[in-house]
Amino acid sequence: MRITVTVPDEVGEEVKARTDNVSAFTTEALVAKLAAEKRRAARKRLRKIAGHFETESEIIENLHRERRASDRT
């Protein structure tokens, strides 16, 4: 997929100085950002419902469920 973005000149220059493949560099950065946002959302959901569990096993099971829902196991 082709996506056009605008970045500050300094950012574009630094990226071009670091790599010949701007597309691959950008893809790697976007994948990392998306994964971080998924983890942050999962932590937020866990904090929100943490008080609703009575046993440690329920807490652990919910943690495993969140990890399975993401790409992180």
What is the per-residue pLDDT across 36-63, written as a single tens digit (0 to 9) for each?
Answer: 998 888 888 877 777 666 677 877 887 7
Using CA atoms of 48, 65, 43, 30 in order, give the dihedral in degrees to the nearest 10: -140
- Where exactly are the structural domains of the chain? 9-69
Contact 63, 56 (CB under 8 A): no
What is the per-residue pLDDT across 4-32, written as a single tens digit (0 to 9) for each?
Answer: 999 999 999 999 999 999 999 999 999 99
Give the pTM. Answer: 0.64
HSE of 66 in the Cβ direction (CA atoms, 13 Å)?
A: 18
